[in-house]
Structure 1
């Protein structure tokens, strides 16, 4: 959420942005955090905090394959 708060209200982030931010090493170890980041994003969707999008449209958990973006929920 802190990554989104530092961006414009309509901006989105890639899950890799969150993984890189959480990873403290200098190598590609952040990639191991991608699945936990995606799971966290879906929990935030359930809480009404964010939306997960694919190709600019809201995505549905379990139906997405490929790149996704995370943005603040539109209220």
Structure 2
């Protein structure tokens, strides 16, 4: 096992907004109708399994989810219901195809 050094730690480039949106849309489509995706699945798909990789992507994933909901391409759900206002929701949420 190679130890991480300051020169190699955290050198992974963050994915752009297009990559986040494409991954989010792909995962939701693969899951299919009436199924949901956790936002952390999107972040892990791009940032890898370690929290240092995917953790910083959680807010960018949320921003993309809000944008895509406004475009009618995904739904953001809280407690199984579509959020009424994508700009104003709190807590744990899931992503799905629009109904």
Question: TM-score, with normalisation over the residues of structure 1?
Answer: 0.87
Partner of 2:31: 7
Distance 1:34 1:69 in 2: 12
Q: Which segments of structure 1 move beyond 6 Å, counting only runs of 4 or more?
A: none
Runs (5+) with no aligned partner, structure 2: 1-24
Check if 1:70 corresponds to 2:95: yes
Cα RMSD of the aligned pairs, angstroms, is 1.3
Provide structure 1 residue ranges, at least 5 long, that are not aligned to the other structure: none
**Count, aligned residues:** 73
Q: Which residue of 1 aligns with 2:15?
A: none
Partner residue in 1 for 2:68: 44
When structure 1 is superposed on structure 2, of 6-15 and 46-55 the one drifting more is: 6-15
Higher-Rg structure is 2
Q: Which has the higher contact order (CA 8 A, sep 6+)?
A: 1
